[in-house]
Structure 1
Amino acid sequence: MLRSTFAAAGTAAAFLAGVSATSAYAAPAIGLAPHRAVYDLQLKNATERSGIAGMYGRMVYEFNGSPCEGYTVSFRFVTQVNTGEDTRLTDQQTTTYEDLKNRNFRFLTRSFTDQKLDKEVRGSAHDVSKGVSVALTAPDTKNFELAESRFPTEHMIEVIDRARKGDKFFEARIFDGSDSGDKTLMTTTVLGKREMPRAGDVDADKAGTFSKQAFWPVTIAYYNDSKDGDALPVYRMSFKLYENGITRDLTMDYGEFVLSGKLAKLELFKADECK
């Protein structure tokens, strides 16, 4: 139960990173801020079926790059889980590279339990005429094609663009290399009205110069992309989103349990200039 559920952590990473090649999102006008964000994780609630008695951890997300050179994401999601009978340390490490201009995407995810490697998924993807071509090199060598999809940073750019336009809801198919790297996910995004932080707004003081800037409340639900479809999402994430892609006040709903992620530290990097 725990291993399959934590595969969704890769999707969280992919979005916090965070169509055809001629789409508006292939050459974004907005500026995503290179940064490192650290989030403290706490268990909000859990069902008996989850097998979780207690849980806490930390998530570190690092975003770098530019529209010209591509974007890199380094993500680590570490939690200590108390099942009531024992305690496990889970550690998911993901790195990705996304070239928006040429529509290429590379990904590597390693998942550990108690410092022992459980799973490694490595591969790349690029646009083809009828969808996305994926080449996996781990855990096995495999090549296949999937339906037309957005990559993670591209999806983030679309979320911000639609929020700026005042859209309230939209759907999109994404490929982020999460889980086994062999499927796409359908997403539904709900965008709230832009608002200012209020007194007592959790973790706003950790956002530095952004602590007094406006944000959008966003909720994204992820569904298995199958013909049958699922009545319930496999994962749901809510957060406060700034115009430059920085997020805070996260809620990660895995169905059987829910985690909160509060911004603990934010470090901004110098943005790469396009030559």
Structure 2
Amino acid sequence: MRSFLTASALSLVMLAPAFAQTANAPVQLVPHRAVYDLSLARSGGSRGLDNARGRIAMEFGGNACDGYTLTYRQVTVLDGSETGSRTLDTRTATFETGDGQSMRFKSTSTGGGNDGVDGDAKLKPDGSLDVRFKQPRNASFAASGQPIFPTEHLKRLIEAARAGQTTLTVRVYDGSDDGKKVYETLGVIGHRIAPGAGDNLEEAIKQDGLAKVPRWPVTISYFTEGVGDRAPIYTISFELFENGISRALKLDYGDFALKGDLQSLQIQTATPCQR
């Protein structure tokens, strides 16, 4: 199972807490800690589940000068009448430079058949990717086609949303799984949601740091690179605030989908960028 990083996708130096960013301002992502409770949203197919539960805990920090850090853990318990109970525990730590040109990453996983990876990824001047691993040792990976890293992906999603674009197609390298894959992604961006709008917002969202921040519904589909007509291997949906915070998660793995409800959110004080 791919982790939600993407987290994919989702985390992520600071706008002044009470003010939304202007359309022409650089994207500023707020340092924060967030916890999401996971539950089963849908089950079907050959790996249908009777129940699922779990939690995502993540902490994002940094700025465009010093770079961005992310620590992330997802624990998921999957219960099936045929497969029994299985617990997946994924831990990831990353550092991305503020210019989006390099990333350090380390992840470990239990219950999913992956012992973990530890490596450094850099983009060369021609846009190609060069990855050198510490774990597994003496391993490397290279790819062409100008992939980007997760925080840069998040920034581009917000830029596209601000500009009123409805789609964003980019190639993303996040170091997940065995660390030897670049994913083709399609982001679909919905209509802007005004600050504070919406029913049944979590208490964690009702704080001054988000009172004037708009958000957009976003769905990102991940595809195996180089394969023709095909279904995504993984899809994540969420409401993305202009400062990088996310709510209303849905993680779709094909045969089943998980819902992520935001349980706690701590918006932290940013370290100003001195450049």
Alignment length, in residue pairs? Answer: 256
Deviations 1:54-81 (A, max 9, x none): 1101101110001000000000001111
CA distance in 2, matches of 1:97, 1:38: 20
CA distance in 2, matches of 1:156, 1:76: 19
Flag the 1:48–1:230 CA change in 2: closer, same or farther, 3 A. same
Relative to the length of structure 2, the TM-score reads 0.87
Counterpart residue number, 1:12: 6
- Counterparts of residues 134-213 of structure 1 (less than 5 Å): 134-147=131-144, 148-196=146-194, 198=197, 200-203=199-202, 205-207=203-205, 208-209=207-208, 210=210, 213=213
Amino acid at match of 1:60: A
CA distance in 1, matches of 2:109, 2:45: 25
C-alpha displacement of 1:51: 4.2
C-alpha displacement of 1:143: 2.1
Q: Which has the higher contact order (CA 8 A, sep 6+)?
A: 2
CA distance in 2, matches of 1:106, 1:126: 9
Q: Aligned with 1:13: secondary structure?
A: strand
C-alpha displacement of 1:13: 2.4
Amino acid at match of 2:115: K
- Counterparts of residues 79-90 of structure 1 (less than 5 Å): 79-84=76-81, 86-90=84-88
Q: Aligned with 2:6: secondary structure?
A: helix
Whether the 8 Å contact between 2:36 and 2:261 is mirrored in structure 1 is yes
Among candidates 88, 103, 106, match of residue 104 of structure 2? 106
Deviations 1:216-248 (A, max 9, x none): 11111110112x335100011111011100000
Flag the 1:164–1:198 CA change in 2: closer, same or farther, 3 A. closer
Q: Aligned with 2:271: secondary structure?
A: coil
Deviations 1:142-181 (A, max 9, x none): 1232122111000000000110010111200010001110
Counterpart residue number, 1:218: 218
1:68 aligns with 2:62: no
What is the percentage of aligned positions where both structures have the same residue? 35
Whether the 8 Å contact between 2:63 and 2:98 is mirrored in structure 1 is no
Whether the 8 Å contact between 1:10 and 1:94 is mirrored in structure 2 is no
Question: Structure 2: any 5+ residue segments left out of the alignment?
Answer: 13-24
- Counterparts of residues 12-91 of structure 1 (less than 5 Å): 12-17=6-11, 29-84=26-81, 86-91=84-89
Relative to the length of structure 1, the TM-score reads 0.87
Whether the 8 Å contact between 2:188 and 2:219 is mirrored in structure 1 is yes
Counterpart residue number, 1:22: none
Flag the 1:106–1:75 CA change in 2: closer, same or farther, 3 A. same
CA distance in 1, matches of 2:100, 2:34: 28
CA distance in 1, matches of 2:246, 2:238: 6
C-alpha displacement of 1:198: 4.7
Counterpart residue number, 1:256: 255
Q: Aligned with 1:45: secondary structure?
A: strand
